[in-house]
Amino acid sequence: MTTTRMSPSTGGGRTTRVIDSTLREGMQSAHGRFTREQSVEIATLLVRSGVDMIECGHPAVDEEELLRVAAVVEAVRGTPVLAHARAHFEDIEAVAKTGASWVGIFLGVNDVSRRSRLPGRTLAHLYETISECVTHARELGLRVRFTVEDSSRTEPDELVEAYLVATEAGAERICFADTLGILEPQETAARIRRLRKRCPGTDIEVHFHDDRGLALANALAAIDSGADWISTSVNGLGERAGITDYAALLVNLHHRGTRPLADGALLGELSLRVGAYSRSMPDHRRPVVGRDVFHHVAKLHVKAVEREPGSYEWLDPATVGQSGSVTRPALPADPSDWIVSPQVISATELRYHRAGPGERFVLVDDRFVPGAGQYCIARRVPRMEDYGAGHVDTHVHHCDSLFMFLGEEAGYAGLTVEVTLGDRVFPVQSPASVFIPAGVAHGYRVVDGAGTYLNHVLAGEYNSSLLDPIGSNR
């Protein structure tokens, strides 16, 4: 069976460079709050997947943010890290303290910015501020990228003047930001061509928000018009609708033949971990990384791809660590199949678990209700002289989960446990439930009493919902 797919277009001969801002822009999403450890993990995977630069954080926010950025800088030595700063000396100095080699200074100069955030400031004053801040950053040994916030709504001459002031002061890269995500590809191309003509010899970066669903299309148009750098984030995570998706951009550049993938199989792992840590998993139809993007259901499609995968696949799924499928995952049609007779199964079937006190009943998972997408067990905990050190090591799920503790005494009292959440241990008395967000390390052990423990996980197969440490052989 052959595996011919559509031939990639040439897309020009220039290699596009990618700066990923998951660890900065992603922190501005509705749920994006990456810990120091999670940030290091994400940055490590970004480097392995071939990113050219990492944009991480705004160190002036507080001490913890400064330390988070510093930890990423230390972890990815050899890959440059850029940190964000307003056009304020103290912000720039905070970046210098992290050890980052680049600072991304941003300032809006259009009427909206001057009315809403910079009342009373004239253009001349703003240009002076840009020059002073870039100069100060250079004196601190930082390399500078300068961004005009809300570039796409800034009058062209004022925009170019701001960039020229920045480059004259020492900025090595300018960034055009479509902050509201309002541009269309044809207009994007015209804007970048003009900017390329007015600022020859200076690297141009573009940062497109996805409010209209056009971020990737605008990024490709910008590349074709002379942009050197594209700002991305994993799963497109960012303010509001997010920005250009990291995996989608890389795979499109690979398809064009202008930038080969360093390790396409890592893109799914990155997507999974960022989705878990931000509690914002990509939907199943997300291009490149979604569960269903190489899934064929229509009879005509199924027959065609069984003979020739390229019939309905633009890319070999193996390129990005996926595999094609022609099965139809669905709940059983007969409601009687939704009723489960629980089975007693040892916890040793699960990673990070050993045999524990009492019997463990599996109430539901995909084995018993195919397509349920949920896992729930109940354990009857007997009263014991010694409950031991516990049978569950701390572990992490890519989805939310729940512990429930019900004692055998009146009002469900009578069961005492210790619950670990992250690096803290909490004493818990029944009745109680413990919500565990995706990405949080957790575990429990029985301390005293008797009753029932329930565990509910929003995944149909327990072991596949676990996020093992980077480098684990599991």
* Per-residue model confidence (pLDDT) at position 1: 32
In which band, very low, low, confident or very high, does the pLDDT at 473 lie, cut at 50, 70 and 90?
Answer: low
The token pair that represents 284 in the structure block: 């199943």
Please determine, for residue 113, whether its predicted confidence score (pLDDT) is greater than 80. no
Do 220 and 163 have their domain in common?
yes
Do 31 and 158 have their domain in common?
yes
State the Cα–Cα distance between residues 465 and 378, nearest whole angstrom. Answer: 18
Do 243 and 325 have their domain in common?
no
* Per-residue model confidence (pLDDT) at position 308: 77
Do 184 and 305 have their domain in common?
no
State the Cα–Cα distance between residues 261 and 320, nearest whole angstrom. Answer: 9
Please determine, for residue 31, whether its predicted confidence score (pLDDT) is greater than 80. no
Work out the average pLDDT over 360-383: 95
- Helix 36-48 and helix 266-277, axial crossing angle in degrees, nearest 10: 160
Convert the pLDDT of each residue in 167-212 to its tens digit: 999 999 999 999 999 999 999 999 999 999 999 999 999 999 999 9
* Per-residue model confidence (pLDDT) at position 5: 43
Do 227 and 339 have their domain in common?
no
Segments in 62-147 forming alpha helices (H): 63-75, 89-98, 111-116, 123-139
* Per-residue model confidence (pLDDT) at position 368: 95
Q: Which residues contact 276 (CB under 8 A, 6 or more apart)?
A: 396, 397, 398, 399, 438, 439, 467
> Is residue 284 included in any domain, yes or no?
no
State the Cα–Cα distance between residues 292 and 98, nearest whole angstrom. Answer: 41
Average pLDDT, the chain: 92
* Per-residue model confidence (pLDDT) at position 52: 98
301 vs 409, more confident: 409
Convert the pLDDT of each residue in 239-296 to its tens digit: 999 999 999 999 999 999 999 999 999 999 999 999 999 999 998 889 999 888 887 7
Work out the average pLDDT over 320-346: 86
Catalytic sites, residue numbers = 301
120 vs 388, more confident: 388
CA atoms within 13 A on the CB side of 77: 2
Residue 427 is classified by DSSP as: E
State the Cα–Cα distance between residues 401 and 375, nearest whole angstrom. Answer: 9
Q: Which residues form the domain of 217?
A: 17-277
What do you get for the CA distance between the two ends of the chain, in Å? 33
3-class SS at 94?
helix
Do 325 and 256 have their domain in common?
no
Burial of 386 (0-12, 13-18, 19+ CB in 10 A): exposed
Please determine, for residue 329, whether its predicted confidence score (pLDDT) is greater than 70. no
The token pair that represents 201 in the structure block: 């010899």
CA atoms within 13 A on the CB side of 184: 1
Q: By the 8 A CB rule, do 381 and 417 touch?
A: no
Query: E strand or H helix at 361, and its extent?
Result: strand 360-364
At 404, which CATH number? Answer: 2.60.120.10
Convert the pLDDT of each residue in 221-230 to its tens digit: 999 999 999 9
At 194, which CATH number? Answer: 3.20.20.70
Do 192 and 169 have their domain in common?
yes
Please determine, for residue 32, whether its predicted confidence score (pLDDT) is greater than 90. no
In which band, very low, low, confident or very high, does the pLDDT at 4 lie, cut at 50, 70 and 90?
Answer: very low
Please determine, for residue 6, whether its predicted confidence score (pLDDT) is greater than 50. no
Do 178 and 200 have their domain in common?
yes
Q: By the 8 A CB rule, do 430 and 451 touch?
A: yes
Convert the pLDDT of each residue in 72-110 to its tens digit: 999 999 999 999 999 999 999 999 999 999 999 999 998
Helices (H) and strands (E) in the chain — how many of each?
Answer: 11, 17
In which band, very low, low, confident or very high, does the pLDDT at 304 lie, cut at 50, 70 and 90?
Answer: confident
The token pair that represents 461 in the structure block: 């197969």
Please determine, for residue 8, whether its predicted confidence score (pLDDT) is greater than 50. no
Q: What is the pTM of this model?
A: 0.91
